[in-house]
Structure 1
Amino acid sequence: MNSQHETDRRRRGLLGRLHHAARNPGRIYPYLRRTARDTMLRLRHRDHVSYYRAVMADDAARSPHKAVGSASEERWLALGQMQFDYLVEHGLTPSDRMLEIGCGNLRAGWRFIEYLEPGHYYGVDISPDILVHAQRTLSERGLQDRMPYLTMVADLTFEFLPSEHFTVAHAHSVFSHCPLDVLRECLTHIHRVLVPGGFFDFTFNRTSGAEYQVLREDYYFRTETLLSLAEELGFHAEFREDWEERPHRQSKIRVVKPKPEES
């Protein structure tokens, strides 16, 4: 596994963080701001989805691109292209019915919408604020006639979606912001909405050491933890080694819902 995706474990301890801050003084204020925001939002929101919805509202008000993890328009386009290219190279076809979890402002979504048959893209997000920007992206790209669905969700149970409907599901930089119980909930219900043989690709922050979180916004997991969870919930799961070659800090796992004869 490529070391560029591994967490620098030295940063986790107090001394490590102080050392990192001394070498990167420009990051001190943003970190202090995030810490203050985290303290305030913890008092207002007890469940994680509500908490992170508030984080997205604050981030989207400042910059919709940065809210989905892109520092610039150029980076936003590059990351969207990278996600799109990978899925097309690894099984996505125009006839697939795709569910994108955490579709954001359609960083990759507008490319999927353009590629898939009309009405075959369903994007969901917990943030109504970022979905407003998704609508703008859709309009700016002239993709209204592709008839995509864009929906806000209260959680990751997808209870309003039909069983065994989607052939492909995708979540980029979503599980990197979720605790394990939310990941379990999402995977459980993804299993329900996927057709047998359908697959779900998701990225995550990978660590080889102890699992941990930063300010309830960033979560780091061992690969084996997520592979075991997916297998427990009835998927075939695989760490995607070839994704490690891409210029991205997160790693990727693909889970496949077995066909009846494969169960």
Structure 2
Amino acid sequence: MAEPLPPTRRNRASLTYKVRYAAQNPDRIKSYLARVARDLRFRLSSRDHVAYYRAVMKSDTAKNPEAAVGSRSHGRWLALGQMQFDYLRKHGLKPDDRMLEIGCGNLRAGWRFIDYLDPGNYYGIDISPDILLAAQNTLVRQELREKLPHLTLVNDLKLRFLPSGHFSVVHAHSVFSHSPLDVIDECLAHVGRVLAPDGFFDFTFDRTEGTEHHVLREDFYYRTETLISLAERHGFAARFMDDWEELPHGQSKIRVTHPA
């Protein structure tokens, strides 16, 4: 999933922003117009946002699986995965934790979690069959077959097939940044059931301090208070993770837990 720009008040969906950006970056006009054409084609052929973004991932993964999850280079793919892993280790991730990664992609961070966790303790889900095939290649390349990770294709974020109270850590990096509010609401409505009583759910998002908006229904920008309020309406305690802001990644993070 695509790597975001830093939090800002700019509305990237506005005509003013688009004209100014085109004037400053004429070399990117052709690629943007190609995205616009793809967006129109996928909108006409997709019944909902999951089907739409599955088509986006199929298109992007065919070109480069690492770029499809938002990494400009293999080095950046490795660095972003390491950053996610180090952050959760710092926040107490232990080998016996049972982890659910929503939007596991091609295991940019997932292979590190799999390697660290006890066998069978990693469960990755994604809406894209193409990126999950790429994830299998990552497992083979990193020689992690014996860790018995679970990789599962899903069509929504209701998590109906997963056991209640099972996961002590739930993680979603750069998933809500590509999701309309109804998809985020669906996830928050159901993730509490599978989250252990003392567990936590970390998710990143593209933060704006101005008008909430989306660009081609691929990139969504939310205010922090919108997502915290939504989490609280589903019975969670939610807090903005300030220490995550110190890292060079471009997204913001919120952690939700069951109330004490």
Under TM normalisation by the shorter chain, which class is it? over 0.9
Q: What is the alpha-carbon distance in structure 1 between the residues aligned to residue 144 and residue 19 of structure 2?
A: 48
Aligned residue pair count: 256
Q: What is the alpha-carbon distance in structure 2 between the residues aligned to residue 11 and residue 217 of structure 1?
A: 12
Name which of structure 1's ranges 49-58 and 6-15 shifts more when overlaid on structure 2.
6-15
State the superposition RMSD in angstroms.
Answer: 1.1
The answer to whether the 8 A contact 1:6-1:207 is kept is yes
The answer to whether the 8 A contact 2:11-2:210 is kept is no
Name segments (4+ residues, structure 1) moved above 6 Å. none
Equivalent residue for 2:117? 116
Q: What is the alpha-carbon distance in structure 1 between the residues aligned to residue 146 and residue 179 of structure 2?
A: 34
1:50 counterpart SS class: helix
Which letter does structure 2 place at the counterpart of 1:139? V
Equivalent residue for 1:168? 169
Which letter does structure 1 place at the counterpart of 2:229? S
The answer to whether the 8 A contact 2:12-2:215 is kept is no
| TM-score, normalising length: structure 1 | 0.95
Deviation, 1:224, is 0.2
Deviation, 1:25, is 1.8
The answer to whether the 8 A contact 1:11-1:20 is kept is no
Deviation, 1:257, is 1.8
Which letter does structure 2 place at the counterpart of 1:123? G
Equivalent residue for 2:203? 202
Equivalent residue for 1:256? 257
Equivalent residue for 2:53? 52
Encode CA deviations 1:74-126: one digit per residue, 9 max, x unaligned. Answer: 00000000000001101211110000000000000000000000000000000
Q: What is the alpha-carbon distance in structure 2 between the residues aligned to residue 252 and residue 205 of structure 1?
A: 9
* Unmatched tracts of structure 2, length 5 or more: none
Equivalent residue for 1:17? 18
Q: What is the alpha-carbon distance in structure 1 between the residues aligned to residue 241 and residue 28 of structure 2?
A: 31
Which letter does structure 2 place at the counterpart of 1:79? L
Deviation, 1:15, is 2.2
Structure 1 vs Structure 2: percent identity of aligned residues? 65
Q: What is the alpha-carbon distance in structure 2 between the residues aligned to residue 60 and residue 54 of structure 1?
A: 10
Equivalent residue for 1:70? 71
Equivalent residue for 1:96? 97
* Unmatched tracts of structure 1, length 5 or more: none
Deviation, 1:5, is 2.8
Equivalent residue for 1:230? 231
2:23 counterpart SS class: helix
Equivalent residue for 2:186? 185
Encode CA deviations 1:149-202: one digit per residue, 9 max, x unaligned. Answer: 001001111111111111000000100000001001011111110011110001
Equivalent residue for 1:35? 36
The answer to whether the 8 A contact 2:12-2:214 is kept is no
2:108 counterpart SS class: coil
| TM-score, normalising length: structure 2 | 0.96
The answer to whether the 8 A contact 1:5-1:244 is kept is no
Ranked by relative contact order (alpha carbons within 8 Å, sequence separation 6 or more), the top structure is: 2
Q: What is the alpha-carbon distance in structure 1 between the residues aligned to residue 52 and residue 167 of structure 2?
A: 28
Deviation, 1:24, is 1.3
Deviation, 1:27, is 1.9
Equivalent residue for 1:148? 149
